[in-house]
Structure 1
Amino acid sequence: MRAIDMHVHPGTREYLVDAGGKYLSDALHYFHRHDAVVSVEEMAAHYRRLDMMAVLLAWDAETQTGLPPVTNDYVAEVVRKYPDIFIGFASVDPWKGRLAVRELERAVKQLGLRGLKCHPIAQAFFPNDRKFYPLWECCEALKIPLLLHTGTTGVGAGVPGGNGLKLKYAQPIPCIDDIAADFPNLTIIGAHPSWPWQEEMLAIAVHKTNVYIDLSGWSPKYFSPSLVQHANSLLQDRVLFGSDYPFLTPERWMADFEKAGFKPAVWEKILVGNAKRLLGL
């Protein structure tokens, strides 16, 4: 296996059109990916050709967007169909309270999903608000990682008002730092290079060993020197390859990664080793 892509969305109509609506339509325009919609079969074949596994993410921002989720059942069915390619992460709408906790328990215990993905900007919540702590307690009890979007987002990007989405929900300090301190047995993955708060995310990961960083959503040629430096040294065991497919393809990411200044000695860790350890593979 060449790599494990830790940040993959379904490139299907169910996600890009039905669940995403105007929000993801704008994101596809922002990333120049107008031809991104594919079938599940095409997506699986794509990753098989690349000799990669992919962490496939559900999506539920129903309270804020009014759009139907990409359900945990949908992701679990894709994983059942292609277990050699996909690993599933659940999503729940944090605003649904106890229903969200029960759905997360079902997604893990009954459907076999292996983590939780939340997008604080699209879901419009501060992760360190204690009203949402029952979700993180559930993650900790289930021994699953929590993947949280950080930094700016392509969702709503490039349009007046950003479709009403607010970036403040995705600032690592205090949002991720508070959770990492309050839940030391919870593995937290900060998704993306976290711009404009990259240094905050690096500081948290250096300070707290239960925090990882995935490198998705940006071509590596745009990574800050500080991010590359930390991935080559202090954080080499907690940095993860992710593409943010279909917005950025793994081929594009890998081609730029090889020229971005990462030491060959850390390539295997970033591309596959760290993910295998985190996921227990």
Structure 2
Amino acid sequence: MTTPKTGGAQGYLRIATEEAFTTPELIAAFREELAAPDVDPGFLSLIGYYLDHPAERPRFVANALMDLGEQRIAHMDERGIDRQILGLTAPGTNVIRNPDRATMVAETANDRLAEAIAKYPTRFSGMAACAPQNPKAAAREIERAIGKLGLSGVLINSHILGEYLDNPKFNEVLEAIEAMDVPLYIHPNTPPASMIGPLLEAGLDGAIFGFGVETGMHALRMITSGALDRFPKLQIVIGHMGEALPFWLYRLDFMHGAGVRTGRYESMKALKKGKVSTYLREHFHITNSGVAWEEAIKFTQKVMGEDRVLYAMDYPYQCPIAEVEALDAMDMPLEVKRKFFQTNAERLFKIKSA
């Protein structure tokens, strides 16, 4: 098998849609939160590890996150990645308890990202950060980042200090995203203190399982709460093979319908479009970040439609060259592979590739 190359000779460009970066301002805010006497246990487990553990992998990740220049471009070239769509690394601003500081961190991150895109316009695109702790300021920053800086989406790292975007207090944030006609990427966060205990004690709180549990629940809340009936044009991206939701669709539809019919939960009402699966197919796009598994990708394409499944690498957290080689070798028609690697991302994020 040949080493992947950029340039599209294989019949498509590789656009990686969930690629992380950080900034000095965010790291400083993380340090302050880590030093607090009541530090969030999931945040401590995640960021305490990546900032301070001496092992080779966290050191590679910490270094790579800070680079928006030649080192990152070299890593992309080594892996055959033509373009990264960048987003502020988890948990981003969501863990910062001072709303003004969180807003500042988001603004500076967007400025730094826009500068990197201007320097490497054919290699980088980006999703805006915001601080939903202050919904009005977050909405203003989304408008600035998309309208003035030219970013291509909005990334929110799941729960905001234990609260979720279906809460009407965040309506201004969702209104701004919908009005700017860009996708919302809901990226994982570690589960909040109210649910993390059994996961943390078993070492299952992070990317191995806890991320999917927490973020899959967030996505479901956006559906079952009726939030997507309030924001009917909103398009949402979730990674890691849809945080397993495509594999749950049959049971989700059955049990949601049963719950609505019996009135079991005050919070669960009938939805305008009926089934959970309808909302997933009409409002969500799935990336395979961290899941270089042909069978899962093909199943999700079958369930969601070929136009709603996109490639992501999950750089720098998971970026073996062998995974790119395996996906290049998928037994899949070239036109479908081109959608997966390139054109679905171009359409969703409004990218014009050279």
TM, length-normalised to structure 2: 0.64
Which stretch shows the higher mean deviation, 42-51 or 193-202?
193-202
Q: Contact 1:180–1:211 (CA<8 Å) still a contact in 2?
A: no
Cα deviation code 1:14-62 (max 9, x no counterpart): 4895465553353687994432313322102322452511111133224
- Whether 2:185 is the aligned partner of 1:147: answer yes
Is there any run of 5+ residues in structure 1 with no aligned partner, and where?
none
Q: Equivalents in 2 of 1:214, 1:238: separation in Å? A: 8
What is the aligned-residue RMSD (CA, Å)?
Answer: 3.7
Aligned partner of 2:96 in structure 1 is 63
Aligned partner of 1:212 in structure 2 is 285
From the superposition, tell whether residues 25 and 146 of structure 1 become closer, same or farther in structure 2 (CA, over 3 Å).
Answer: same
Q: Equivalents in 2 of 1:97, 1:117: separation in Å? A: 14
- Whether 2:19 is the aligned partner of 1:8: answer yes
Structure 1 counterpart of 2:68, which letter? V
Structure 2 counterpart of 1:35, which letter? F
Cα deviation code 1:44-85 (max 9, x no counterpart): 232245251111113322435998646211211211221111
Q: Who wins on radius of gyration, i.e. which is larger?
A: 2
Match of 1:173 among 215, 220, 223: 220
Match of 1:187 among 202, 226, 235: 235
Aligned partner of 2:298 in structure 1 is 228
Structure 2 counterpart of 1:254, which letter? V
The count of aligned residue pairs is 274
Q: Contact 2:49–2:58 (CA<8 Å) still a contact in 1?
A: no
Q: Contact 1:193–1:214 (CA<8 Å) still a contact in 2?
A: yes
Q: Equivalents in 2 of 1:142, 1:16: separation in Å? A: 25
Q: SS state of the match for residue 35, structure 1?
A: helix
Q: Contact 2:241–2:288 (CA<8 Å) still a contact in 1?
A: yes
Match of 1:35 among 46, 60, 75: 60
From the superposition, tell whether residues 210 and 242 of structure 1 become closer, same or farther in structure 2 (CA, over 3 Å).
Answer: same
Aligned partner of 2:153 in structure 1 is 115
Q: Equivalents in 1 of 2:285, 2:138: separation in Å? A: 24
% identical aligned pairs? 23
Q: Contact 2:236–2:284 (CA<8 Å) still a contact in 1?
A: yes
Q: Equivalents in 2 of 1:16, 1:52: separation in Å? A: 27
Q: Contact 1:60–1:93 (CA<8 Å) still a contact in 2?
A: yes
Aligned partner of 1:45 in structure 2 is 74
Q: SS state of the match for residue 282, structure 2?
A: coil
Q: Contact 1:150–1:194 (CA<8 Å) still a contact in 2?
A: no
Q: Contact 1:8–1:243 (CA<8 Å) still a contact in 2?
A: yes
Q: Contact 2:153–2:184 (CA<8 Å) still a contact in 1?
A: yes
Q: Equivalents in 2 of 1:135, 1:122: separation in Å? A: 12
TM, length-normalised to structure 1: 0.79
Q: Contact 1:7–1:56 (CA<8 Å) still a contact in 2?
A: yes
Q: Equivalents in 1 of 2:187, 2:81: separation in Å? A: 26
From the superposition, tell whether residues 107 and 6 of structure 1 become closer, same or farther in structure 2 (CA, over 3 Å).
Answer: same
Q: Equivalents in 2 of 1:55, 1:201: separation in Å? A: 28
Is there any run of 5+ residues in structure 2 with no aligned partner, and where?
1-7, 32-43, 251-275
Q: Contact 2:228–2:234 (CA<8 Å) still a contact in 1?
A: yes
Q: Contact 2:128–2:151 (CA<8 Å) still a contact in 1?
A: yes
Structure 2 counterpart of 1:190, which letter? I
Cα deviation code 1:126-152 (max 9, x no counterpart): 121111121111111111111112697
From the superposition, tell whether residues 180 and 3 of structure 1 become closer, same or farther in structure 2 (CA, over 3 Å).
Answer: farther
Q: Contact 2:309–2:340 (CA<8 Å) still a contact in 1?
A: yes
Q: Equivalents in 2 of 1:126, 1:61: separation in Å? A: 11
Structure 1 counterpart of 2:18, which letter? H
